[in-house]
Amino acid sequence: MTDSADPSNNDSSHSGPAADRAMLEVLHAVDGEPDDRCTRIALRGALDLDGVQAIEASFTAAVLARHRATIVDGSQLTFLSSLGISLLVSAGRTLRSRQKPLVLCELRPEIESMLRALRLETLMTIVATRADAEALVARVG
C-alpha cells in the first residue's frame, strides 16, 4: 500500500521535486517472512500539509486496524510539520490506550531533535535503528 501527495505544489522551502512527495509504505514482511507481532511503516518525503493529507487515511488505517505495536521507519522522511507531528501523536495515543508501543527509528537528526524537544516519550519511543526498534517490540510489544 503506497500513497503519495500531489507534486504540483512545490513552492514551499522544504518541498522539492516530485521525489520529495510524501509516501507511505506498509511493510508486511521482515526478511520475506510475514510477521504478525507488529505493523511496520516506512515514511518518505515531506509530511507537510499536502503530505499529511495524502497519507493520513492510509497511515491511520494501517496503525489502528491491526491493533499491534507499530514501527515507523523515518529514514527517508525529509520534513515533519506540526500536522505530521499531530498525526504521530494521535497514533501514539491510540496505541498507548491499547498498551502497544509506537516506535520511531532511523530519523534524521533534525527531526529526532525536534521530537525529543517536544517530550513526547509517553506517546512514542525514538530509537536509532530498525534493529533497535525490532528488539524493543520483541520485548514489550
At residue 23, the pLDDT reads: 83
> Quick check: 13 and 49 in contact, CB under 8 A?
no
- Scored b (16 or more CB within 10 A) or e, 53-77 reads ebbbebbeebbbeeebbbbbbbeeb
At residue 24, the pLDDT reads: 76
C-alpha distances in Å from residue 51, one per residue of 3, 31, 65, 82, 83: 9, 28, 21, 12, 9
Residue with cell 522539492: 16
In tens digits, what is the pLDDT along the chain, a chain of 141 residues? 443 333 333 334 444 444 567 787 877 544 444 567 889 999 999 999 999 999 999 999 989 888 899 999 999 999 999 999 999 999 999 999 999 999 999 999 999 999 999 999 999 999 999 999 999 999 986
The domain covering 37-140 belongs, at the CATH homologous superfamily level, to: STAS domain (3.30.750.24)
Burial of residue 133, with CB atoms counted within 10 A of its CB: 0-12 exposed, 13-18 middle, 19 or more buried: buried
